Amino acid sequence: ASLALGLLTEQLSLRLGGTHCHASGIVNVSTCSSANSVFWYIPWVYTGVTCARRLTDERSWAFPLLSGMLFFGLCGVYEAQGPLVGWWRWPAADGLVASGCTIWQAGPLGLDARGLVASPHVMEALGERLFGVPVMAPYFHFAFGWGIAVVYQLTAFKS
């Protein structure tokens, strides 16, 4: 399930929002999406949820919050350091993520001849930067973990 979630999240982020572009790896899922960026979701989701389950009651209001914090903790350094070492690119101020990229994007984004571009909503969310890192990017990790934990709470308990 974590692998499918990673594949879906990465592809939708690229094709519907143009949020980022990963550097090519030895194996690539698609342009701007290396296999390691997708496979990372397996240990990330497992560790974030499992650690939260071991630290608090799964039925507690604290479970989703703790899970969100762990998801951020597991990716915070990666999030901040990745662009600096060339693992991926954020959108530039003009919305361009990858010049000349031919990846399919939905709607008006696909009509932009420059390449992979970010949607206006993405530009609004990722525009404010602190040390080059979009301020709202770490929030994605927290919200992702929180959401997975809430879904877990709503579907995993036997009465």
Identify which of 9, 21, 14, 2 has the alpha carbon closest to the alpha carbon of residue 98: 21
With contact defined as beta carbons under 8 Å apart, do 103 and 28 qualify?
no
Q: Which residues contact 151 (CB under 8 A, 6 or more apart)?
A: none
Q: How do residues 25-71 score in pLDDT, each as one tens digit?
A: 899 999 999 998 899 889 989 999 999 999 999 999 999 999 999 99
- Say whether pLDDT at 157 is over 70: no
Q: Which helix (H) or strand (E) holds 99?
A: strand 96-99
With contact defined as beta carbons under 8 Å apart, do 117 and 95 qualify?
yes
* pLDDT: which is higher, 100 or 1: 100
